[in-house]
């Protein structure tokens, strides 16, 4: 075991791991974090805490992660390279680790153009892959990126994102391989709606034996409505929603669409768990955390293992 | 080349408010090529400023000059005989030219008529696009001759983000994804396997990280 991370322990035990997501609020509202977290407690092994998601200012991932720790939940501390240089990044990592946060996710972040501070300078001192390298160096060599020694180095279980649906598709296995080379321990994928395409990607992943070097958690997001399905299909870069899925959502009456979305999500998990190399699920129920218990239970992922 | 665009008329008029006589100075290099501050643009702006002043009921005397290179003291010197006769210089060079004029003539205000944009290349008639950010330690040998620092919206050095779609960047359909271009080029060159060589965190000291930069060539000094 490289770390004390509960997520690492569950993954290493061979059980399918489950992570959820908590998007911090746009204001000093600790109770919002606590309410969301409470809904997930007991149903997931760890909770991703997003970092200025969609390039909108929110309570910091660090602060919200500390609230989760206080509730004895295990945050996956997300960090984007957009908002911080390597000094701030490493300072936050040792700070987070000092608060008992031992799992993180290294991301580049959405472009500021999509958020409410389009006028902001984006930093990108490091890219997401160099961030993985940095965190690994801090943990395994006990050195800061600049080369100096760290006293009590942070032992982070290192995650990253993988998007099998973005272009160029043929590069996407190599992209994962490169993250593995940089030292990533687990990846969470973009939400999967096109399972056929995901299977093709996983074939390529297995051909290179990457599934044996990195834990792959399949990302799923239940859709609330046909409108949301259409929006994701047409507006969100890097998300692939097949036409059949939009049709299926649109084919049920409006008041039943939410339930249909949950059903689709559970069916997806059932199909995805058959795929060799899938080590768990990352359930991103955006502003719909109350549905996570139902999804986890009906998908047969409950109770969560005690490690 | 260095690219630039002219500032809005109102902004330029605001800067020279109260001036009766100005020296409007173009440059024969980059800004001529990108049609922002060459002889032709100097003439156009001169006429425009005079017209705008007339509308306000004021007279404006504009002297036009276009230097061979406004970022070079040797040519900037050509302004010396005229400088005392004007209230201000309006420069149509890039920011380097504006500053060179300001450095030489301490007592005369110099105003920029252009917004200097980026180092780029022409992609067709009337189109210029960014190509280089002068990072001081060129990576192009590793990335198939396409710069991820200047051309990837997130400056990613190790591959495309999750937003790359049909060859376009997530920020908009009018921007090519640099990593898509790099990948295509690597395939053409038959060096796809090199994609997996990790490019380590950059030392930005060769760029702006170390403060304003200078080149000193002993052999020429
Ligand atoms: S790598 Fe640096 S020097 Fe080379 S083109 Fe890009 S910004 Fe310019
Ligand atoms: S889409 Fe391509 S160019 Fe745009 S930010 Fe992502 S990798 Fe960079």
Q: Is the pLDDT of residue B57 over 90?
A: yes
Q: Does A202 touch chain B (CB under 8 A)?
A: no
Count of structural domains within chain B: 2
**One domain, residues B97 and B140:** no
Shortest Cα distance from A117 to chain B (angstroms)?
14
Q: What is the mean pLDDT of chain B?
A: 97
> Would you give the DSSP letter of residue B38?
S
Give distance in angstroms: CA of A46 to centre of ligand 2.
Answer: 29
**One domain, residues B93 and B172:** no
Average pLDDT score over residue span B11-27: 97
pTM of the entire predicted model: 0.96
**One domain, residues B149 and B81:** no
Q: Can you give the residue range of the structural domain that contains B8? A: 2-117
Q: Which atom belonging to ligand 1 lies closest to the Cα atom of B143?
A: 1
Which residues in B lie closer than 8 A to residue A125 (C-beta atoms)? 201, 204
Domain spanning A6-298 has what CATH number? 3.20.20.220
Query: HSE (CB half, 13 Å, CA atoms) of A130?
Result: 24
List, as own/partner pairs, every contact residues A203-208 make where C-beta atoms lie below 8 angstroms and the sequence separation is at least 24, other chains included: A204/A172, A204/A173, A205/A173, A205/A176, A205/A277, A206/A276, A206/A277, A207/A173, A208/A173, A208/A177
Residue among B1, B130, B133, B181 to mutate when testing ligand 1 (max atoms within 8 A of CB): B133
B154-166 burial, b for 16+ CB within 10 Å, e for fewer?
bbbbbbbbbbbbe
Which among B84, B117, B150 is the end of a domain? B117
Going by CA atoms, what residue is nearest to atom 2 of ligand 2?
B177
Cα distance between residue B118 and residue B3, in whole Å:
5
Q: Does B166 touch chain A (CB under 8 A)?
A: yes
**One domain, residues B17 and B87:** yes
Q: Any idea which residue has 């409505």 for tokens?
A: A225
List Cα–Cα distances, A134 to A77, A131, B41, B158, in angstroms: 15, 5, 50, 14
Cα distance between residue B175 and residue B127, in whole Å:
13
**One domain, residues B193 and B102:** no
The two structure tokens encoding residue B170: 């997530």
Average pLDDT score over residue span B18-29: 97
CB A92 within 8 A of CB A84: yes
Answer whether A127 sits within 8 Å of B164, measured CB to CB.
no
**B83-127 tens-digit pLDDT:** 999 999 999 999 999 999 999 999 999 999 999 999 999 999 999
CB A261 within 8 A of CB A249: yes
User: What was the pLDDT predicted at B221?
Assistant: 87
**One domain, residues B139 and B101:** no
Which residues in B lie closer than 8 A to residue A108 (C-beta atoms)? 154, 156, 161
What residue in B sits closest to A113 (Cα-Cα)? B171
Is B102 inside any structural domain? yes
The two structure tokens encoding residue A142: 């006990």
Name the stretches of chain A with pLDDT < 50.
none
CB B136 within 8 A of CB B150: no
**One domain, residues B174 and B111:** no
CB B30 within 8 A of CB B1: yes
Q: Does A111 touch chain B (CB under 8 A)?
A: yes
**One domain, residues B78 and B184:** no
Tell me which ligand sits closest to the C-alpha of residue B206: 1
Going by CA atoms, what residue is nearest to atom 8 of ligand 2?
B152
Number of other residues whose CB lies within 10 A of the CB of residue B210: 11
Is B125 inside any structural domain? no
The two structure tokens encoding residue A266: 């559970």
User: What was the pLDDT predicted at B209?
Assistant: 84
CATH number of B90's domain? 3.40.50.2300
**A133-186 tens-digit pLDDT:** 999 999 999 999 999 999 999 999 999 999 999 999 999 999 999 999 999 999
**One domain, residues B7 and B112:** yes
Shortest Cα distance from A237 to chain B (angstroms)?
5
Residue A22: phi and psi, rounded to 5, are -130, 115
Q: Does A161 touch chain B (CB under 8 A)?
A: yes
Give distance in angstroms: CA of B199 to centre of ligand 1.
Answer: 14
**One domain, residues B168 and B101:** no
Going by CA atoms, what residue is nearest to atom 4 of ligand 1?
B138
Secondary structure class of B21 (helix, strand, coil): strand
Bridge partners, A49 (sequence order)? A22, A77
Is B187 inside any structural domain? yes
The two structure tokens encoding residue A228: 């949301």
Which residues in A lie closer than 8 A to residue B200 (C-beta atoms)? 130, 133
Is B198 inside any structural domain? yes
Question: Taking the mean position of all CA atoms in its chain, how far away is CA B171?
Answer: 22
Is B122 inside any structural domain? no
Ligand 1 pocket residue status of B133, Cβ below 6 Å: yes
Ligand 2 pocket residue status of B178, Cβ below 6 Å: yes
User: What was the pLDDT predicted at B208?
Assistant: 83
Give distance in angstroms: CA of B147 to centre of ligand 2.
Answer: 12
Bridge partners, B165 (sequence order)? B168
- For B13, counting Cβ atoms within 10 Å of its Cβ (0-12 exposed, 13-18 middle, 19+ buried), the class is middle
Going by CA atoms, what residue is nearest to atom 4 of ligand 2?
B169
User: What was the pLDDT predicted at B210?
Assistant: 87
Helix (H) or strand (E) holding B9: helix B9-15
Tell me which ligand sits closest to the C-alpha of residue B159: 2
Q: In the A/B pair of chains, how many CB contacts fall below 8 A?
A: 105
List Cα–Cα distances, B44 to A107, A222, A274, B3, B64, in angstroms: 49, 59, 70, 18, 10
Question: Angle at which helices A128-136 and A86-98 pack, to 10 degrees?
Answer: 50
Average pLDDT score over residue span B45-72: 97
Is B185 inside any structural domain? yes
Write the secondary structure of chain A as one string of H (helix), E (strand) and C (coil). Answer: CCCCCHHHHHHHHCCCEEEEEECCCCCCCHHHHHHHHHHHCCCCCEEEECCCHHHCCCCCHHHHHHHHHHCCCCEEEEEECCCCCHHHHHHHHHHHHHCCCCEEEEECCCCHHHCCCCCCCCCCCCCHHHHHHHHHHHHHHCECCCCCECCCCCCCEEEEEECCCCCCHHHHHHHHHHHHHHCCCEEEEEECCCHHHHHHHHHHHHHCCHHHCCEEEEEECCCCCHHHHHHHHHHCCCCCCCHHHHHHHHCCCHHHHHHHHHHHHHHHHHHHCCCCCEEEEEECCCCCHHHHHHHHHHCCCCCCCCC
User: What residue segments make up the domains of chain A, in order of their start?
Assistant: 6-298
CB B199 within 8 A of CB B158: yes
Question: Angle at which helices A61-70 and A86-98 pack, to 10 degrees?
Answer: 10
Q: Does B130 touch chain A (CB under 8 A)?
A: no
Question: Taking the mean position of all CA atoms in its chain, how far away is CA A205?
Answer: 19
Whether the complex's predicted ipTM surpasses the cut of 0.90: yes
Answer whether A129 sits within 8 Å of B198, measured CB to CB.
yes
């Amino acid at each position: 075991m490289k770390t004390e991370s509960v997520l690492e322990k569950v993954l290493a035990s061979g059980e399918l791991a489950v992570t959820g997501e908590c998007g911090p609020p746009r204001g000093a509202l600790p109770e919002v974090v606590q309410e969301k977290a409470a809904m997930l407690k007991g149903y997931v092994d760890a909770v991703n805490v997003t970092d200025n998601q969609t390039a909108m200012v929110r309570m910091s991932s660090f602060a919200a992660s500390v609230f989760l720790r206080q509730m004895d939940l295990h945050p996956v501390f997300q960090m984007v390279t957009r908002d911080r240089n390597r000094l701030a990044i490493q300072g936050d990592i040792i700070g987070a680790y000092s608060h008992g946060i031992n799992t993180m996710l290294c991301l580049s972040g959405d472009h500021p153009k999509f958020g409410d501070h389009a006028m902001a300078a984006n930093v990108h001192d490091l890219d997401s892959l160099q961030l993985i390298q940095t965190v690994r160096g801090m943990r395994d060599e006990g050195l800061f990126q600049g080369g100096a020694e760290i006293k009590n180095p942070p032992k982070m279980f290192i995650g990253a994102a993988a998007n099998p649906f973005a272009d160029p598709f043929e590069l996407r296995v190599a992209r994962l391989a490169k993250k593995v080379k940089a030292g990533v321990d687990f990846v969470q994928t973009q939400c999967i709606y096109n399972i056929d395409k995901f299977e093709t990607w996983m074939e390529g992943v297995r051909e290179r034996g990457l599934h044996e070097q990195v834990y792959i958690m399949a990302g799923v997001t239940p859709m609330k409505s046909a409108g949301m399905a259409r929006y994701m299909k047409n507006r969100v870069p890097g998300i692939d929603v097949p036409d059949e899925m939009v049709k299926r959502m649109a084919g049920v009456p409006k008041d039943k669409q939410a339930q249909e979305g949950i059903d689709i999500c559970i069916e997806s998990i059932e199909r995805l768990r058959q795929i060799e190399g899938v080590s768990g699920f990352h359930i991103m129920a955006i502003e719909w955390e109350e549905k996570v218990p139902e999804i986890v239970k009906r998908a047969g992922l409950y109770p969560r293992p005690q490690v | 080349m260095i690219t630039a665009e002219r500032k809005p008329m109102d902004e330029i008029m605001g800067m020279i408010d109260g001036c009766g006589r100005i020296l409007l100075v173009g440059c024969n290099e980059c800004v001529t090529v990108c049609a922002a501050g060459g002889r032709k643009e100097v003439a156009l702006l001169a006429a425009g400023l005079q017209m705008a002043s007339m509308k306000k009921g004021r007279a404006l005397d504009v002297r036009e000059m276009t230097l061979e290179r406004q970022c070079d003291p040797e040519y900037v010197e050509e302004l010396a005989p005229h400088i005392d006769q004007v209230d201000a210089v309006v420069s149509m060079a890039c920011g380097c030219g504006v500053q060179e004029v300001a450095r030489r003539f301490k007592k005369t205000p110099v105003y920029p008529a252009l917004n200097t944009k980026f180092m780029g290349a022409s992609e067709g008639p009337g189109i210029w696009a960014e190509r280089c950010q002068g990072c001081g330690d060129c990576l192009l040998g590793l990335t198939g001759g396409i710069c991820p620092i200047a051309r990837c919206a997130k400056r990613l050095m190790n591959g495309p983000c999750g937003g790359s779609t049909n060859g376009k960047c997530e920020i908009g359909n009018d921007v090519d994804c640099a990593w898509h271009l790099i990948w295509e080029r690597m395939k053409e060159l038959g060096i796809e396997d090199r994609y997996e060589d990790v490019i380590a965190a950059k030392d930005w000291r060769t760029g702006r990280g170390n403060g304003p930069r200078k080149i000193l060539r002993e052999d020429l000094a």
